[in-house]
Amino acid sequence: MTWKDEWRRVWAIVWKDLTTERRSKAGLNAVAFMGILVLLLFGFALGPDTEALRNAAAGALWLAILFAGVLAFNRSYQLELDGGALESLLLYPGARWAIYAGKLIANLVFVLIVEAVVVPVAMVLYQVSLPPGWPALIGVTVLGTIGFVTLGTFYSAMSSRSRAREVLLPLLLFPMLIPVLLAAVESSASLLGGDPMSEAGAWVRLLGAFDIIFLVASLLAFEYVIEV
Amino acid sequence: MGVTTAGMTMAPAAKSRSRGMLMGIGAFVLLAAMQAWAISISVADRDMGHLQKIMYVHVPAAWNMMIAYFVVAIASLRYLWKGQENDDLLAASAAEAGALMTGLLLLLGMIWAKPTWGIWWTWDARLTSSAVLFFIYVGYLILRAFVDDPDRRAQWSAAVGLLGALNVPIVYMSVRWWRTLHQPQSSPRTLDPNYTMGLRVNAIAVMLILIWFIKHRYDTAKMERSADQLHERLALSGRGGINA
């Protein structure tokens, strides 16, 4: 088994998952609407004061992404389980991490597409205008999403095959994601304000470190999780 | 066949149980004595008065929480490496005792915060990161409760325990950057010598209780497992389960 073979497996799984999603679109629509719904709910909860909404925008957006995205992860394995496909997937030769990497990339693309819908809606609803440093903002969003999807894909491999899967995943995932939430919200908020204290850099480094640590740990540990 | 094996292991189990009981009683008596001693020798604090005495349980709970989570991480790693069930049971017992210590830490912290800071809760770094740790390990215990197959439960919770342990320093650092109000944590170096000895002996007393809790839960888990195995063996031998 060379690396090239493993990568071909990874891409096969990515392609399979994204094709399934593209053909039905049910998951994507549901998750994107859930994100927008959470944004609306926060708007109602915080009241119509423009200034308050603008200040809370980064936090509300990230919570909307977390609450909506968490619905997508269990689905990714549920589709396999419904068709009895996970066993066959495990029977194919090749490393276990390739399955994880495939699911991870497919989930990442999925959540990024959802964000492409939810972020502009958040900017409209909360009356936030695009700051001059917007490419950095996209970078922060992508880094935060990688951390979120890395752990989400890993934990949903367990929760989707347990009892009470809808409850278990957020309970496992959200406490672990608090560093991502803090770093993403703080750096987005300071970038939206023009980063006057240039504090976004430290948070971005923390996000990067989180992503690398948990990406490596999940790739190594996935074998133990999927085999049983 | 199964019954004789159970009969043979009965005697040492009973002995270990009575030893465990003795250890538990000893630990609690020691804690009560050390609390009384520390309270009697320490003078009232200039700012906090006698409220300072909460420290003798609050700070030992924090230290012992870290010890418990360290045991979870080591036992989880060892389980993934060697695959022995004992390590899984040890990790689970330590996680339970650690979550209890964290709960105690948070509760005592609140009781201490109300009269000194005037509030029950504040989004300070140390409080917040302890609360996050509490939820990470409660999540670990909930996962165990939701998975029935012992092998699956052991593998999954080992992975979750390890990832949780990796996250401890990251949570701590991120929350500290986010906000800091808590006084630098109490340790023998930051304390008036008046209080140092009391704190140290109470930390040891709480540690003995932690060890006893972990041991007790571990013994219970082992008994549960051997009861399950006995049940299985009897069912397989065709004698119709445990009553045959």
AA identity, residue A92: Y
DSSP state of B24: H
What is the three-class DSSP state of A49? Answer: coil
User: Phi and psi (nearest 5°) for B42?
Assistant: -90, 135
The count of other CB atoms within 10 Å of the CB of residue A148 is 27
Looking at the predicted structure, is the pLDDT value of residue B35 above 90? no
Residue-level pLDDT at A207: 92
Which chain B residues are Cβ-neighbours of A209 within 8 angstroms?
A: 170
Residue-level pLDDT at B160: 93
B146 touches chain A (CB under 8 A): yes
Share of chain A above pLDDT 70, in %: 98
AA identity, residue A89: L
User: Phi and psi (nearest 5°) for B184?
Assistant: -55, 140
Looking at the predicted structure, is the pLDDT value of residue B39 above 50? yes
- For residue B49, list its beta bridge partners: B45
Q: Distances in Å between the alpha carbon of B55 and those of A105, A106, B45?
A: 48, 50, 11
Residue-level pLDDT at A202: 84
Looking at the predicted structure, is the pLDDT value of residue B5 above 50? no
Domain B19-42+50-229 - what CATH class? mainly alpha
Mean pLDDT across chain A, nearest whole number? 88
- In this predicted structure, which of A23-37, A85-99, A150-164, B162-176 has the lowest mean pLDDT? A85-99
Share of chain A above pLDDT 90, in %: 44
CA closest to A183 among chain B residues? B174
Which chain B residues are Cβ-neighbours of A214 within 8 angstroms?
A: 163, 166-167
Mean pLDDT across chain B, nearest whole number? 81
Looking at the predicted structure, is the pLDDT value of residue A144 above 90? yes
Looking at the predicted structure, is the pLDDT value of residue A210 above 50? yes
Spatial distance between the Cα atoms of B207 and B216, rounded to a whole number of angstroms: 14
Q: Which residues of A54-93 are buried (b: 16+ CB within 10 A; e: fewer)?
A: ebbbbbbbbbbbbbbbbbbbbbbbebbeeeeebeebeeee
Q: Report the pLDDT averaged over residues B195-214.
A: 84
Query: Which among A162, A174, A178 has CB closest to B171?
Result: A178
Which chain A residues are Cβ-neighbours of B171 within 8 angstroms?
A: 178-179
Report CB contact under 8 Å: B139, A175: yes
Report CB contact under 8 Å: B171, A218: no
Query: Which among B143, B155, B167 has CB closest to A224?
Result: B155
pLDDT in tens, B104-116: 999 988 888 888 8
Nearest to B94 by CA among B238, B217, B229, B237: B217
Spatial distance between the Cα atoms of A223 and A106, rounded to a whole number of angstroms: 19
CB contact at 8 A, A142 and A116? no
Report CB contact under 8 Å: A224, B143: no
Report CB contact under 8 Å: B139, A227: no
Is pLDDT larger for residue A102 or for residue B28? A102
Q: Report the pLDDT averaged over residues B89-95.
A: 94
* Distance in Å, alpha carbon of B176 to nearest chain A alpha carbon: 11
C-alpha triplet B33, B39, B42: angle, nearest 5°: 135
Highest-confidence segment of A88-92, A210-214, B115-119:
A210-214
* Distance in Å, alpha carbon of B131 to nearest chain A alpha carbon: 9
Report CB contact under 8 Å: A158, B164: no
CB contact at 8 A, A95 and A1? yes
CA closest to A158 among chain B residues? B156
pLDDT in tens, B51-69: 777 788 888 888 899 999 9
Is pLDDT larger for residue B96 or for residue A88? B96
* Distance in Å, alpha carbon of B148 to nearest chain A alpha carbon: 9
CB contact at 8 A, B94 and B144? no
Share of chain B above pLDDT 90, in %: 26
Work out the pLDDT band at B242, boundaries 50, 70, 90: low
A164 touches chain B (CB under 8 A): yes
What is the three-class DSSP state of A194? Answer: coil
Work out the pLDDT band at B239, boundaries 50, 70, 90: low
Q: Report the pLDDT averaged over residues B101-128.
A: 85
Which chain A residues are Cβ-neighbours of B143 within 8 angstroms?
A: 158, 162, 168, 172
CA Rg value for chain B: 21
Query: Which among A174, A176, A179 has CB closest to B163?
Result: A176
Could you state, in order of their start, the residue ranges of all structural domains in chain B? 19-42+50-229
Spatial distance between the Cα atoms of B44 and B49, rounded to a whole number of angstroms: 5
B211 touches chain A (CB under 8 A): no
Residue-level pLDDT at B183: 54
